[in-house]
Amino acid sequence: MSDTRHTKVLIIGSGPAGYTAAIYAARAMLDPVLVQGIEPGGQLTTTTDVENWPGDINVQGPELMQRMEAHARETGTEIISDIITSLDLSKRPFTAMSDSGTTFTADAVILATGAQAKWLGLPSEEKYKGFGVSACATCDGFFYRGKEIVVIGGGNTAVEEALFLTNFATKVTLIHRRDSLRAEKILQDRLFKHPKIEVLWDHTVEEVLGTDTPPGVTGVRAKHVKTGKTTDVPCEGFFVAIGHAPATELVKDQLVLHNGGYVKVHPGTTETSVPGVFAAGDLTDHVYRQAVTSAGMGCMAALDAERFLSAQPVAEPVSA
């Protein structure tokens, strides 16, 4: 059965950005409705130790997200287990349709649908995710102190991650499928000059090698793209840095995007190209992609939405 609901603020997404936006919007008396999506709690529910969330020396990702959900609920957010399947931003109130058949109309929308790392798609990569395979050097680099690491990719992210990982690793091998990098020249210079970094050109990774008990990575099998010759590169950490895909399916034809598909916001705000639509978290952030920065942007989005709504003319009462 379909029904229609109106809300002042519709928040789409239940990661750190969405829940933080909800807490601030609820405390601003905006009675927000938050739709959780297919992954309630977002990306952090797919990891174990989170060691850089301020105030928690070590917290499990799923537990942290349950606490954020409870906090958002406690402040008065209505949290709905559903998926937004389409969104019309062409006129206000904005309209969102959900998988269960609800139509939401909203005076303002906060988009917090996150981003997903791209993966190579190897079964062995999947097997060792969380046991040596990662897509986040900032999150997991610390676990590879004094160990060898392999990074795959040739863009800014791969080069930045390789450089960052030298803080921990004894050696970092960057594997790239071509003979030149896509990354900015200044980053390339730093990479080539670094004594701990070696580049393996013209190679892809065809298998992640490891042990079963305990589960862990011991190396990667790299394959030369022209000769087909394989080389086993030893490592305990394998970082996949071949790009991220921001979750812009709902808005890609309606909002201005940049930097490879991220939602563009006006600098220093969460305002998108459509007034009344705000974006927060990994969806709009190709640089930091952290829980704490996403939460910070969630706060900004709620404050921006509150200011936007209070600047709107009050509707005239309909006379009898």
Residues that bind ligand NAP (CB under 6 A): 120, 152-158, 160, 177-178, 182, 204, 242-244, 259-260, 286-287
| Residue nearer to ligand NAP on the CB measure, 152 or 255 | 152
Choose the contact partner of 58 out of ligand NAP, ligand FAD, none; CB within 5 to 8 A by kind: none
Residue from the set 106, 133, 250, 305 that interacts with ligand FAD by CB under 6 A: 250
Q: Within positions 121 to 140, which residues make up the interface with ligand FAD, using CB under 6 A?
A: 136, 139
- Whether 281 and 114 have beta carbons less than 8 Å apart is answered as yes
Q: Using CA atoms, how far apart are residues 80 and 100, in angstroms rounded to an integer?
A: 11
- Closest by CA to 175, choosing from 144, 149, 136, is 149
* Contact call for residue 37 and ligand FAD (CB under 6 A): yes
* Contact call for residue 84 and ligand FAD (CB under 6 A): yes
H helices within the chain, ranges in order?
Answer: 16-27, 61-74, 123-127, 137-140, 156-165, 185-193, 291-310
- Whether 45 and 283 have beta carbons less than 8 Å apart is answered as no
| Residue nearer to ligand FAD on the CB measure, 35 or 199 | 35
Choose the contact partner of 83 out of ligand NAP, ligand FAD, none; CB within 5 to 8 A by kind: ligand FAD
Q: Which amino acid is at 185?
A: K
Using CB under 6 A as the binding criterion, the count of chain residues that bind ligand FAD stands at 37
Q: What beta strand segments (E) does 176-299 contain?
A: 197-200, 203-211, 216-224, 230-234, 237-240, 244-246, 257-258, 262-263, 277-279
Question: Would you name the residues annotated as active-site residues?
Answer: 136, 139-140
Contact residues for ligand FAD, defined by CB under 6 A: 12-18, 35-40, 42-44, 46-47, 50, 52, 83-84, 112-114, 136, 139, 247, 250, 281-283, 289-292, 294
